[in-house]
Structures are given as C-alpha cells and as structure tokens.
Amino acid sequence: MAKQKILLNYSYSNYGMKALDFIIRTFASNPDVQVTIMHTYPPLPAFEADVGPMPDRLKASLNLMSQVIVQNEEGVRVARQHLISNGFSEGNVDYIFKCRHRDVADEIIETANNGNFDIVVMAPRPAKITGLFKKRVSTKVASVLKDKAIILVT
C-alpha cells in the first residue's frame, strides 16, 4: 500500500499544537502515513557591505532575528519529536524549514504539489476584525490546490 503523505503547515502557537495533536489522534496508528512538518520564515534584510559600517542597533536587530530563526528551527525539531514520541516511526516524520520568497500560501501550494502530498493540514488563527479585509492563507490554499484534502484544525 502506498504511503499517505501529509503536509502540516506548522506555527509556534496553541493552534500549531492542536494540529499536531489532531494528526497524532487521527493518523499515529497507521504505519502507512508519512508526515512532513513545514515552516517558512521571512528572509532577513540584505545590506551591501560597501555602503559603510552598519549601525550597532541594526546589527543587534539582525543578530536577534537570526537567533529567532535558529530557535524556530529547533521548535520544528521538537514538533517532529512530539510526533515520534506519540506513535509515528522516525522514518515517517520529516520537516521542511526554509526561507520563504513568496507569501505563505504560495509556499504551501508549491510544496504540496511538488511533494505529491495527499493531505494538507493547517491550523489558522481566528480572524480579527482587521483580517476580514485580507485573503486568508487557508482560503487561498483551498482554492488553488486540487485533488488534495485540506484539513483546517480549529
């Protein structure tokens, strides 16, 4: 039997943990399920070296952002280990942690299509009043992806 491939768009929030727990409850007992945890982060600003010395405050900000990226990758590794500790075999859990060059929805769509994922799991945050004027990531993903199950964990 072919493995069923699940892509989890992971965030470091209670919603991300809900999605992990949903995947554990629903799929951990099935050895034919492969889960890939995905997290993308915005690129750090690039500065030209020949412009002159970088102000100390800017250096400190860039260092802090770099540290956050390292901590976030560790968070994805912890999420992976949580799946393994709760019933998934080590070989059936992977992760993608990468710099995004487009919006989050486009990164999810490209990864889901290129990786031949069967299911995409997302845990969107509840919309605030200001969010009513923006297109939600989950709406865009659901409208573009075809022949894939989209699961929204709330």
Domain 4-23+30-44+53-125 has CATH 3.30.70.260: no
Residue 144 vs residue 2, higher pLDDT:
144
State pLDDT tens for residues 31-71.
Answer: 999 999 999 998 887 766 555 666 777 777 878 888 888 89
Around Cβ 7, how many Cβ atoms within 10 Å? 23
State pLDDT tens for residues 78-89.
Answer: 999 999 999 999
pLDDT at 60 (0 to 100): 79
pLDDT at 1 (0 to 100): 55
SS3 label, residue 62 = helix
pLDDT at 19 (0 to 100): 94
Domain boundaries, the chain: 4-23+30-44+53-125
State pLDDT tens for residues 89-124.
Answer: 999 999 999 999 989 999 999 999 999 999 999 988
User: pTM of the prediction?
Assistant: 0.85
Q: Is the pLDDT of residue 12 over 60?
A: yes
Residue 135 vs residue 33, higher pLDDT:
33
pLDDT at 9 (0 to 100): 94
Q: What is residue 92's DSSP assignment?
A: G
Residue 134 vs residue 18, higher pLDDT:
18
Residue with tokens 């009513």: 132
User: What residue ranges in the chain does DSSP mark as E strands?
Assistant: 4-9, 33-41, 93-99, 119-122, 149-152
Give the Å distances, CA to CA, from 19 to 6, 48, 132. Answer: 12, 41, 23
pLDDT at 48 (0 to 100): 60
